[in-house]
Amino acid sequence: MSDFLSRAIELSSRFSRAYLLGQLIFITLFFASYLVMMQPFLELAETSLASRFVIRGVIDCANIVLVTHLLLRPVLKYYLLSVSQKLLPALWSFLYLTALSLFCSAISMLTTKLDLLKTTQIDTVSFNHQNQQVLMEFSQFNQWLLGGFNTLIVLLGWSLIYLFWHGLQQKKLLQQQMQQAQIQQLTYQLSPHFLFNALNSVRALIFENQQQAAQTVTQLSELLRIHLQSQMRPVATLAEEWQTAEFYLQIEQVRLEQRLETSIELADDCLTQKLPALTLLTLIENAIKHGISPNAEPGWLKVKAEKISHSFWVLSVSNSYKAASPFKGTGSSLANLQQRLQLQLGYSVRWQQTKTEHQFELRMELPYV
């Protein structure tokens, strides 16, 4: 019992905005239904009596809110949801609901003992039947049972809605976790490909210029450090992406020398936009490996980012393309990247690849946030 109370107190201090909104909607509907049922009394000429019925309705609403939040919600969350496939806990929960309903009904009846609300107690109901007036009197016990039954319907409805909402939240959380795991797995798949190309670049320098090779190893170490850090968080800004890609370009510039000409145009209002980690590095690496590196003649690489509307911005990477690449790529890196973009930014991403005799361009229209 003490464990349940400690959990209930802990849970009562933690609630989401969606839960508060749901409670507000619930209590608004409850109070509105109360006013509809008490409409004959609210239309009486005696204003003081009508106001007393309103006060009693407010007290009943507060009573329901406290009971659902402090006594019902912890049971549903910690007990019924964890063993929802078993029949016995569900039966015990129904008995618990019944006890809470009778408790709420008793509290409501006790409020009518107050001097201010004595006149709001309804123990007699009259109605016409076959042109005869029928008078029905309810004892306090019958009032308690009838009030408990009505409250049971309300609490049962609240419980079903809460369980349904909680199930949707759990499903949404599970989908987010699976999506995050998938994104992380796709990010890890870039590591071997990236490391293989970078080491090949260093290997080529060792036989040409050992001092440059040593400096390139230092740059590669820094690049690998940034690369490993990017795997810990699947999203990076365009500015952070360019910082990583710039290290890689410095390594490739040493290897390719005059064969690589770069043009970088990144608009300032796009630098804070977020992308899946290693997006720009993947595009630049693909351009150099398949477009520029296979050719003995000088080649060029252009990277451009600009805002094209209030809702979208464009990131494009284009490169010269002449001879066919000796590397028989599978296209997995670009397919991997496209999948990560859709997972993280949604299907509003517009992906366009254009290949001509002398140029290859990949253009992405991304949502501007």
**Identity at 313, one-letter amino acid code:** W
* pLDDT at residue 216, rounded to an integer: 78
* pLDDT at residue 302, rounded to an integer: 96
C-alpha distance from residue 362 to each of 27, 230, 287, 295 (Å): 54, 23, 10, 20
Q: Where are the beta strands (DSSP E) in the chain?
A: 124-129, 132-137, 235-237, 260-266, 274-276, 299-307, 312-320, 350-355, 359-367
Distance in angstroms (rounded) separating the CA atoms of residues 260 and 275: 26
* pLDDT at residue 128, rounded to an integer: 64
Kindly state the tokens that stand for 36: 């509809």
* pLDDT at residue 211, rounded to an integer: 80
Write down the mean pLDDT value for the chain.
79
> H or E segment at 175?
helix 140-188
Q: Are 140 and 133 in contact (CB under 8 A)?
A: no
Instruction: Find residue 305's DSSP bridge partners.
Output: 266, 315
Q: What is the pLDDT along the chain (369 residues), one digit of tens a residue?
A: 555 666 667 767 777 888 888 889 999 999 888 888 877 766 665 677 778 888 888 998 999 999 888 888 887 876 666 544 445 567 777 888 899 999 998 988 888 888 888 777 776 666 566 666 666 666 778 888 888 898 999 999 998 898 888 778 777 765 665 556 555 555 555 456 556 766 776 777 787 777 877 887 887 787 777 666 665 677 889 999 998 888 888 878 877 778 899 999 999 999 999 998 888 988 998 898 888 888 888 899 999 999 999 889 999 999 998 766 555 555 567 887 887 787 777 767 889 999 988 899 999 999 998
Running DSSP on this structure, what letter comes out for residue 28?
Answer: H
* pLDDT at residue 270, rounded to an integer: 95
Distance in angstroms (rounded) separating the CA atoms of residues 277 and 226: 10
* pLDDT at residue 271, rounded to an integer: 95
* pLDDT at residue 24, rounded to an integer: 92
Burial readout 237-264 (b: 16 or more C-beta within 10 A, e: otherwise):
ebebbbebbbbbbebbbbbbeebbebee
Cα dihedral 96→99→104→109 (10° resolution): 180
Q: Are 237 and 279 in contact (CB under 8 A)?
A: no
